[in-house]
Each structure stands twice: as C-alpha cells, then as structure tokens.
Structure 1
Amino acid sequence: MRALVLLACSLLLQPSYAFRRSDWKLPMGFEIALYSDTPVNSARSLSCSGSSKRGGPIITYVGARSSEPQDVVALVDRTGRGKAHYVQTIIKGLCPQPNGVAWNKGSLFLACPSQLYRLDNADSYALSKKAAPLSALKLVLTLPAEASHGWKFIRFGPDNKLYIPIGAPCNACKPGSTLVNGRRWQFGSIYRVNRNGSNVTLVAQGVRNTVGFDFHPLSKQLFFTDNGRDQISDNVPDCELNRVSKEGEHFGFPFCHTRPAGGSNPRPYLRRPGRGTNLADPDLNRLETVWKCNGPGLRFTPAVPALGPHVAPLGMRFYRWSAAANFPQGYNNSIIIAEHGSWNRASPIGARLVRVRLNTTSPGKVVSHTPFLSGGVPGDNGLPGGPNPPATRASSYLGRPVDVEQLPDGSLLVSDDEANAVYRIWYTPPPG
C-alpha cells in the first residue's frame, strides 16, 4: 500500500514536459537550466531569503496555486553552486492557492486567498529539513475571500511595509467593496500594511488584477503589472505595466483600458515601446459616456507601456546590478516581466519573459521593450512576428512563466506552474 501511495505522489509531481534547452531562446551569452531536478508542483511566487549568501546557503521560497490545499516549499542551495540541493516542504496543506510569499526580517509571510500569515524563523525549517507545524503560523490579516482573482501576490517595499493586491471579483464590472471583520476593502486595488497587519492604507485603485510588482531601485516608486479584461477581441485590450506616483492613484479599470499607439493590431507579439492610447470599455463605458478615456483632464493614469493583448503579465523584478552581479551592467534597473500567456486567444501569446528598459532620467518613459526568454509557446523564436508556424489553442504550452527572482550572485530564477519547474538563468561573458 505504501508503495502505491509513493507511486501516486511521484506521478502527481512529474513535470508536464521534459526540459530541453533547445526549446528556449535567450540573448547571446545567457543560459537556462533547471534549478531543481525535483519537480516543484504548481510553482508560483518566489521570494529569496534575505539571509542567503553568494556562497550559500541560498533559500528560495515558492508559493503554489491549485483548487486543492497546496504546499509552500523552499529550494535550498547549500553551497551557492547554482542549483538547489533539495526541495523542502515548509508549510503543508494550509490552504488552496497559497500564491504569495515574501521573506522579511527572518519571517516568511504567506498569502492565502482570504488570510495573511506569518511564519517566524522560516529559514531554520528549511535548513533542518522540517515542515513547520501549522500552529507556528500567526494570522496577520483576514482578507476578502472572493474566488475570482482571489489569489494574492505580496511584496515588501523599501519602507518595510507589506503590499497586498485585492483583485477585481470579475472579468469586467464595477468592482465595489466588501466588509471583512469590520474593515472595508476596495476591490481592484493595492494596499499597504505594517508587518503586524495594522495601518491598512489604499495605495492604488482601478487595478483589475495585479500578480506582480516591484519598486524602482532609485525613485522607490511602485511599478506593477495588470492583466487586461477578456472577451472583447483577440487583440484588445492590452495588458499593462503601471507606475504609482501618488497615493490612491486610479489606473482606469473598469471604464478605460489600454491599446498600443497606432491602433489595436500592430505587432501584437511585441508592442513598440512607449505609452499607448486608451480604449473605452464597450460594456461599462460605451462611447465614453461614464469616463473620458483620451485627451486632457483624465481621472486616471494611463499605463507606462502597453505590453500586448492577453499576454497575462505576472511577476516582475527590477534587475539590481552590482560589480558582483552575474548579468551585464546594461541590465541595471531593467524590468524583467514574466508573461504567463493567454488562455482563450485563438493564437496563444506570451509564455515568456520580456525586458523593459526605462529612461534613466524619466522613469515613466520606456526606452525599449524586447523579448528576453522565449519558447513557452511552441515555435516562438522571440521575433515580432510571433511563433512560426503560428500556434493554435490546440498547441500545448511548453512552459508558462509566473515569477522571477534575483539570487545573490545576480542570476535569475523563473517559476513555471505549467512545467512544475523552477529555472535558473545566468550569463557567461565571451572569452577574452
């Protein structure tokens, strides 16, 4: 009986496809490989322990997403060799969709759909190869429990506050608000809280569903990805990268969406850099009868760039270069965005990493928008024309990136919930 159980568990944890380096395209000099030979089931958000050192141990926590209770695991590289020595379950079966993980001052914060927890001394469990008892988790906040866009990404800011999104409970609707334990939460928003859950503050609104954000290394401003609505057309609207320049700023949802400059269909697989135009929602703001979407006097802040239709941008990180960092110096302050890929577009799109470079003196302006890692959609060679031959919905994704995280040596981890994998990307300078 025990043998049957072990066999069933091993089958559940098999990757959806065998990793092949030839499936993935990167800029010259970069390489990619599995960071863990052990599959990481439904690998989602990543958070590297702040106690990690270049020479090891390096501990990276990985969230998960599924309709069944899932485990939060740690990938442990004991010596800084560039590959995990083992995968350790840290929190077992606490809740479905334990997507959000964030390490801060020795504690691991975990976001379930309707609760925020804290596990103190998390690294000790990872290094001793033990799962924490659920009694060790401390409830920090109770959150809205709506299922649609209910999984949470969390991240600490340079102000040592925790940032939490509350997704819109729909594809397209007036999101409204809800009361939880006497506190009112606005859907379609991002909040900031203290480590103990106090001082809940609205940071941004008009946000449909963000599953990734980071803070500019110099300006400290919050940048976040946002997933555009579905069921208008294959090429409308675009997903977005946004920048918060003031507290409580509105970003247009549900009345105004984003499309690229020059119309709806130029280069859907790789939008040109720069701010696009805005599109009135055909159901909730037809002919701009509720909100004005273009011209002067807008009530919302347009996206920094249009990222493409239905690409589903999730995790993002500013690359922080140093003399000891692995990537070339030109990557400093570039944004690396994980595009999870479309779910109902006729020709699949996304399933890759893109690099966005900002103007150094005006970080609200985009200098370039280029593929970094391509290949999640079969045939995607990283060119503006898209996969060749064109992919169809019948094509199986080879991988669907979810999040990115920079390691102490400057290399980059990528989680993939389609392949049940975590990859590492590093750079090798040319000889001489």
Structure 2
Amino acid sequence: MKAFTTAAAFCALLTAPALAQSNLEKLGAFKVTGTKEHTIIDQNSSAAESIREVLQGITLPEGFKIELYALVPDARHMAMAPQGTVLFVGTKKSKVWAVLDRDRDRVADEVKDFAPSLEMDVPNGVAFSKDGFLFIAERNRVMMYPAAEFFHESPDVVAVPIVPQGELIPPEEESYNHTARVIKIGPDDKLYISLGQPFNVAPPEKLDLYNEVGIGGIIRMNRDGTGREVYTYGVRNSVGHDFHPVTGELWWTDNQVDGMGDDIPPGEINRQTAQGQHFGHPWYGGGSVRTTEYAGEEVPVEVVMPAVETVAHAADLGMSFYTGNMFPEKYKNAIFSAQHGSWNRTEPVGARVMVTFIDDEGNATTEPFAEGWLDENGEYDGRPVDVIQMKDGSLLVSDDFANAIYRISYSE
C-alpha cells in the first residue's frame, strides 16, 4: 500500500472528540497538547572528546576512517529521512531522537527528542517509506508519522496508530525481555516487524499462540496496519533485517540460546527465500545445535539453516545492505552488521562491525570490518547496535553504550 493508505486513518482521526483527553487524541484532532519544549543534547560536552579518543583505536581496512557523528543517548536503530535532512534514532527507553546536520559538514549540530508530547514505550524500531512516512515500532504499538522529516521542529506532530496500543502482541505476552522491535519496509511496500519471543527457549505451551501471532518470528502487514500475516517462523530474537537489493530476499540476524557454554550455539545471519519458512527455534538453539529443552524430540517442521554462523554470543543486531558508491566495488550489495558484544561469555567477544559478502549463488562469508571497542582488559568502550547508509554512501553506526553515532567514510 502506498501513501494513499493513510487517508482513511486521517479522516477517522479528524472525527476525534474536540475535548479529547489523551495527547494522542488531541494530535489526531490537530489540537495542541501544551507541550512546549524539546530535550536538547549538548554536542560539545566532555563525552565527545572521550569518544574521539576511543575512535583512534578502532581498526578498519585501508582507506576507511571513523569519526564521531553525534552524541545521542541510548542510540539504537536508525532511519535516515528520504531527503537526508534528519536522522531518526530509536531507543529501548522512551524517546526517539531527531539528529540534524544543518551545515552539511557530516557532523551533527543538533540532537533533540522527537514528538515529546507523546509517551513512547521502547520505541526501538524506526523506518521511513520512500514517500516520507516515518514508522516507529514500540513494545506493543506501531505508529505512523506523516512528513516527520519536516514536522519534527514542533513538540506536536501528526501521529497515527496503525497498530494501536496492545494489539501488536497480546497484552498478557508483554515482557521486559526481547522487546526491541525492528521495522523495515520491503520491496512490496509492506511493513516487516520482528517480534522476539521473551524466553531463553520458548516453552511448548506457548508455541501455538506464538505461531499464530508471530511472536518468535517476523510479521508482515500493509502500511495502514491491515493484512497482517506471519512471514517468518522459528526465530528466537531477531534485532536486524534488510532486503537484498537485487533479489529482494529478506536477510536477518538472530540472537541464539544462552547458557549452553562459551562457544555454542553460534549466532546467525539468515536468508529467507519464501514466506512461511521456519528457522528452527525452539528445537535448535543456533545453527544445528539442538536445545537441551527439546533434545531428542523429532523436529516437526522443515528447518532452514543459517546462511552464516557467527561467533557464539556476540549478539548480532542491526544490519543493512550496502548500495552506495563511496566504498570500493567489492562492498556493493554486501551486508554491514553490528555485533553488540557478549554478556555471558568467559572471554567477551563482539563489539564490532562485521561485513558479509554474498556470491551469485547466495553463499555468504563474514569477516570483521571495524573493531576495537572491546579493549585488552575485556572492557567495553562501545557496543555497536545498528548500521545504516547515508545518502553520500558513508555508513552510520549507533552505540547505546557510548551514547553515540559514528560515521565511517572512505577515500583512496
């Protein structure tokens, strides 16, 4: 569905009561909420210099450099507006940030909260349609903001709940665990939203409900919230997905089962070639490693094994295909992805940006691209979350530990 699909929603909102109580109802009726101020993040604080010192120790292939782009609290998944004027950054807390580089020097000069008149609950997932609609996936709601690239200056913005509060998942299934949704718009102009299941290993009594709702999977719907269906099954907790720019196939990362040891099970990057494919959870903990809870049971589904097995517990999160022209040709259509870093490994791993090369047959190999946020003492100086491409072909990398966004560029 295209821009059109919001027309009915707008008309419905225009009929909201004139004396509506909630801020969302007021915004739907094009009324002011009384919110006057944004939260502004100082871009010249002492934290900036500390981060720049850390970046001096990041290793990259020859010709690449990494620089601080912005200070952004709790920076998670990112979406660049179609005109390239504003970067929107989700968090696992209660804010989405608008990041502006007004003088176009590739360093942000303004960071402020977006739509502060609205309450948000884990607004991790952000995505833009090509025609300028911003979608934000929260713990249990999906919101659409028309023309957010141009209306972000006001605390009050047009806001349309395409999946109202409590309808993304059953309210009784709301959890504090694995609730960072990722949302992307596919080649079919539909929304694809990941729904991590809250357990380490999903128990048998939950499987029928989860398969029906799409928890432990990726769901698909039209841009107005209609036509919801489960697209992907057998996912533990995917926090990154994107579409191959040539084939249109869905690729996604998956965080695998904890508590099985330092080196098993592997993390995953998966390739999906058709709707309805199953990727193994809860019978498999990662790759071909069976979970203890379901060991010895016959697997009742046909399982698609991962395209890439990554190092165990590195926490592969956000990913994007590279389509720009700044980087050398070998990076065209490769995946850049973030490893957030392990929390339960004897020797920590991860905290780096990876690159995955895919051949014409779909075979994939992964290697480190930017690393050094995990120091020689095993302490984190940063924990990358997401990677996206700027219009000039450079990359942005978010970091929710350092509260920063970095820019990676290339020159010969």
Q: Contact between 1:177 and 1:187, CA under 8 Å: does it hold in 2?
A: no
Q: Pick from 26, 36, 41: which aligns with 2:60?
A: 26
Letter of the 1:120 counterpart: P
- d(CA) in 1 for partners of 2:208 and 2:83? 38
- d(CA) in 1 for partners of 2:340 and 2:126? 18
Q: Contact between 1:255 and 1:281, CA under 8 Å: does it hold in 2?
A: yes
Deviation at 1:426, TM superposition (A): 0.1
Residue 377 of structure 1 corresponds to 374
Q: Pick from 276, 279, 282: which aligns with 2:292?
A: 282
Letter of the 1:162 counterpart: L
- d(CA) in 2 for partners of 1:71 and 1:84? 18
Listed as ranges, the matches of 1:21-420 within 5 Å are: 21-36=55-70, 39-52=71-84, 58-66=85-93, 70-92=94-116, 94-104=119-129, 105-126=131-152, 129-133=153-157, 136-141=158-163, 142-144=167-169, 145=171, 146-147=174-175, 148-174=177-203, 175-176=206-207, 178=209, 184-259=212-287, 278-284=288-294, 286=295, 288-291=296-299, 299-321=302-324, 325-359=325-359, 361-363=360-362, 365-366=363-364, 368-379=365-376, 391-392=377-378, 395=379, 397-420=380-403
Deviation at 1:10, TM superposition (A): 7.1
Say how many residue pairs are matched.
361
Residue 383 of structure 1 corresponds to none
Letter of the 1:318 counterpart: F
Letter of the 2:65 counterpart: E
Q: Secondary structure at the match of 2:90?
A: strand
Deviation at 1:186, TM superposition (A): 2.9
Q: Secondary structure at the match of 1:44?
A: coil
Q: Contact between 1:177 and 1:186, CA under 8 Å: does it hold in 2?
A: no
Q: Secondary structure at the match of 2:56?
A: helix
Q: Secondary structure at the match of 1:240?
A: strand
- d(CA) in 1 for partners of 2:344 and 2:126? 28
Q: Contact between 1:107 and 1:122, CA under 8 Å: does it hold in 2?
A: yes
- d(CA) in 1 for partners of 2:352 and 2:405? 14
Q: Contact between 2:39 and 2:113, CA under 8 Å: does it hold in 1?
A: no
Structure with bigger strand share is: 1
- d(CA) in 1 for partners of 2:381 and 2:99? 22
Q: Secondary structure at the match of 1:18?
A: helix
Letter of the 1:240 counterpart: E
Q: Could you list the per-position Cα deviations for residues 236-277 of structure 1 after superposition, in whole angstroms to 9, with x for gaps in the alignment?
A: 101100011111100000101335xxxxxxxxxxxxxxxxxx
- d(CA) in 1 for partners of 2:184 and 2:303? 24
Unaligned runs of 5+ in 2: 1-37
- d(CA) in 2 for partners of 1:15 and 1:301? 44
Q: Secondary structure at the match of 2:115?
A: strand
Unaligned runs of 5+ in 1: 1-5, 53-57, 260-277, 293-297, 380-390
- d(CA) in 1 for partners of 2:39 and 2:386? 30
Length-normalised TM-score, structure 1:
0.79
- d(CA) in 1 for partners of 2:61 and 2:115? 37
Letter of the 1:118 counterpart: M
- d(CA) in 1 for partners of 2:402 and 2:285? 31
Length-normalised TM-score, structure 2:
0.82
Q: Secondary structure at the match of 1:94?
A: coil
Letter of the 1:337 counterpart: S
Q: Secondary structure at the match of 1:346?
A: coil
Letter of the 2:78 counterpart: L
